A and B are shown apart, each in its own frame.
Chain A
Amino acid sequence: MFSRLEFFITETFVSMRRHPAMAFAATICIAASLFVAGIVGLIVLNVNYATDTTLNRVRFNVYFQPEISRHEAWVAYKRILDMARVEEAQFIPKEKSPFWLKYQQNHPDTKNLLNRNPLPDSVVVKARDLEDIKALKLAMLEWGEVRSVRDTPDLIQKLINVSEAVKQSGIIIGIILIALSLVIIHHTIELTLYARRREMFIMGLVGATPATIALPFLLEGIIYGLFGAGVALGILVPLYRFAAQKIAANFGFALLTKGPEMTHGLIAVLIAGVALGFIGSVVSVCKYLRTPKSRLTNA
């Protein structure tokens, strides 16, 4: 078992060493594909990040009737908190209302004139999902304690639309890129194998089974994929960090540089490289392992 494994690994590396041009072409092809895919992935990731961050800040205000007591307002607040679609809620007594505080700060001279605060108690609510806001608003407006609910519906809807568009276009672009990459990689590996089809044929003539012939080529594909992914990441990561620094310095906008999304992205690029190399090899090897029909005459 070990000697078999050793045989396949040795075959793979000897073959790579003795076909440097092919190894280079296949690696660069995979690297280029993954580099472009990586850029698109980073754009999608950052737009999503920016949209999510903005949307995460979205709250709406629930204003109670001015006539109700503090106790009644508090009970209503507890009801809001108990709602399944509400993630968090904060009770704002009318004397702590930011509008009132700001008004007092800006008009110290009228403080005595308007010492009676006309604002009602309110609650700042964050829904679990942005799409729940509308339903929550409608439900709360039916309560007698609630006078009005205020938010910025246009902005929220726009952000939701942008987020969906980016996600969907990201998926479509990703699928197109993967398909294109597969075609390019398949052709590159097929070309490298075309040059080596004689070798494969001779291996078969000396008694090698299709699996024995194919395995080193498949391993080669996987290694090209890993190398390609490594090259792509080696260029992409420093370039992205540099761009993130420049954007942060010039536009004050922080790109996503850390977190599980980035780690998953790096792992995804490596896996994509391996998968592209492997699939490209499988398709090409299977094609050339079949005995050429022109050589066989059938009864």
Chain B
Amino acid sequence: MNACSLQPATLQPCNLQPHQPLPRVGTAPDVGIFRAMFHLGGELGYNRAVSEQPVIELQQVSVVYPNGIQALQEADLRVNKGEFVFLVGPSGEGKSTILKLLYREVKATTGHVLVEGHDVGRLAAVGVARLRRRLGVVFQDFRLLDYKTVRENLTFAMQVLNTPPQIIRRRVNELLEQVGLLDRRHDFPQQLSGGEQQRLCIARALINHPPILLADEPTGNLDPETSVDIFRLLEAINLKGTTVIVATHDHAMVDRMLRRVVYMCGGRIVGDHPAGSYYQPDECPCDDAAPAARGASAEW
């Protein structure tokens, strides 16, 4: 696949080198450099006006799994509408748990999780379904419907919203073309490579134009070139007003995008770096301690 095949129609052809060296300084790079990197057509991502209206709030949230592992400890987080937030930190430190709390795969042991003002922990089954329709989720392990074709995986996500068939057809074709899977639309997920499954998962997350996009290691299975394309896609989606939260290990990409970075360690939020600055992972206070959450792996 062409490295740039994931780009949205509004973007120019990509010429970004995946490991392009960047200065590690605490200030934002020159606007010209950033624009040249991502060709975002004039608007600089991290300088965008972000609403002060919180769409996601974690209030003193702790999560203890039934096996006793504490995955999250008294986490406080507020994400405003239209923000792009990276959750970074070592494996098993609670990044995925935060995302799972938001789409209610796990429930907080203590504290409150609010999404668009709704207390997620108090939602009934139908309320959870409605919440999930407002969220696009890119899962670390894809979670595709194995017995459905590529096309049907996308169609199903629209059918549950009772979308008219004509709109489904148009939107599915459009998105399949964007993620470069139009030719594979009749294949089943098992017939796709890891990268293709990842792209399908991203396409499914985007299909209903969700106001909030959650991505758990969206580039974990991708080659560097495709990873760049994925982040460019997420960037473009964010520019349209979607709130994006990405849990990632891809420090190079986090460095390049200069967005808000929430650093997690030992199940705690230990750093919150605003957009336009570089975070310093070396400063993590947990480095010497054995975090309680280690082992609370993403397999949960």
Report A's interface with B, CB cutoff 8 A: 3-4, 7, 14-15, 18-19, 196, 198-199, 202-210, 212, 289, 293-299
A19 B105 Cβ-Cβ under 8 A? no
Q: Chain B residue with minimal CB distance to A202?
A: B143
* B128 proximity list for chain A (CB < 8 A): 204
Q: A18-B147, A294-B66, A299-B110 are in contact. Are A206 and B157 (CB under 8 A)?
A: yes
Shortest distance between the CB of A22 and any CB in chain B (Å) = 11
Q: A3-B164, A3-B165, A297-B106 are in contact. Are A209 and B129 (CB under 8 A)?
A: yes
* A208 proximity list for chain B (CB < 8 A): 129, 156, 160
Contact of A7 (CB < 8 Å), options: B106, B157, B159: B159
- The answer to the question of B287 belonging to the interface, with a C-beta cut-off of 8 Å to chain A, is no
Residue interface mask B106-123, A partner, CB < 8 A = 1: 111110000000000100
Contact of B137 (CB < 8 Å), options: A18, A203, A205, A297: A205
Shortest distance between the CB of A200 and any CB in chain B (Å) = 10
Q: A18-B147, A19-B147, A294-B66 are in contact. Are A207 and B161 (CB under 8 A)?
A: yes
A202 B106 Cβ-Cβ under 8 A? no
Bound CA–CA A3/B163 (angstroms): 9
A295 B109 Cβ-Cβ under 8 A? no
Shortest distance between the CB of A209 and any CB in chain B (Å) = 4
Contact of B160 (CB < 8 Å), options: A207, A293, A296, A297: A207
A207 B159 Cβ-Cβ under 8 A? no
**CB<8 Å pairs between A and B, sample of 17:** A15-B147, A18-B147, A198-B146, A199-B146, A203-B160, A205-B132, A205-B139, A205-B143, A207-B129, A210-B125, A212-B129, A295-B105, A297-B63, A297-B108, A299-B108, A299-B109, A299-B110
* A297 proximity list for chain B (CB < 8 A): 63-66, 106-109
B147 A202 Cβ-Cβ under 8 A? no
Contact of B162 (CB < 8 Å), options: A4, A18, A196, A205: A4
- The answer to the question of B251 belonging to the interface, with a C-beta cut-off of 8 Å to chain A, is no
Residue interface mask B64-96, A partner, CB < 8 A = 1: 111000000000000000000000000000000
- The answer to the question of B50 belonging to the interface, with a C-beta cut-off of 8 Å to chain A, is no
Contact of B107 (CB < 8 Å), options: A204, A206, A296: A296
* A199 proximity list for chain B (CB < 8 A): 145-147
Contact of B132 (CB < 8 Å), options: A198, A207, A298: A207
B160 A299 Cβ-Cβ under 8 A? no
* A198 proximity list for chain B (CB < 8 A): 146
Q: Chain A residue with minimal CB distance to B135?
A: A207
* A15 proximity list for chain B (CB < 8 A): 147
Shortest distance between the CB of A284 and any CB in chain B (Å) = 17
With an 8 Å Cβ cutoff, the count of chain B residues facing the other chain is 39
A210 B108 Cβ-Cβ under 8 A? no
Q: A296-B107, A297-B63, A299-B121 are in contact. Are A206 and B147 (CB under 8 A)?
A: no
Residue with the greatest number of chain B CB neighbours at <10 A, chosen from A207, A209, A296, A297: A207
Bound CA–CA A196/B146 (angstroms): 10
B157 A207 Cβ-Cβ under 8 A? yes
Bound CA–CA A298/B129 (angstroms): 19
A298 B160 Cβ-Cβ under 8 A? no
Shortest distance between the CB of A196 and any CB in chain B (Å) = 8
Q: A204-B129, A204-B132 are in contact. Are A296 and B106 (CB under 8 A)?
A: yes
- The answer to the question of B232 belonging to the interface, with a C-beta cut-off of 8 Å to chain A, is no
Contact of A206 (CB < 8 Å), options: B109, B126, B160: B160
* Further pairs besides A294-B66, A297-B107, A297-B108: 11, Cβ < 8 Å: A203-B160, A204-B129, A205-B137, A206-B204, A207-B129, A207-B132, A207-B208, A209-B160, A295-B105, A296-B107, A299-B121
- The answer to the question of B144 belonging to the interface, with a C-beta cut-off of 8 Å to chain A, is yes
Interface residues of B in 32-75 (CB under 8 A from A): 63-66
Q: Chain B residue with minimal CB distance to A297?
A: B109
Shortest distance between the CB of B115 and any CB in chain A (Å) = 13
B109 A298 Cβ-Cβ under 8 A? yes
- The answer to the question of B133 belonging to the interface, with a C-beta cut-off of 8 Å to chain A, is yes
Bound CA–CA A206/B144 (angstroms): 10
* B147 proximity list for chain A (CB < 8 A): 15, 18-19, 196, 199
Q: Chain A residue with minimal CB distance to B111?
A: A299
Bound CA–CA A203/B152 (angstroms): 12
Top 4 closest A-B pairs, CB basis? A207-B133, A207-B132, A209-B129, A208-B160
Interface residues of B in 136-191 (CB under 8 A from A): 137, 139, 143-148, 152, 156-157, 159-162, 164-165
Shortest distance between the CB of A71 and any CB in chain B (Å) = 85
A202 B162 Cβ-Cβ under 8 A? no
Residue with the greatest number of chain A CB neighbours at <10 A, chosen from B63, B128, B208: B128
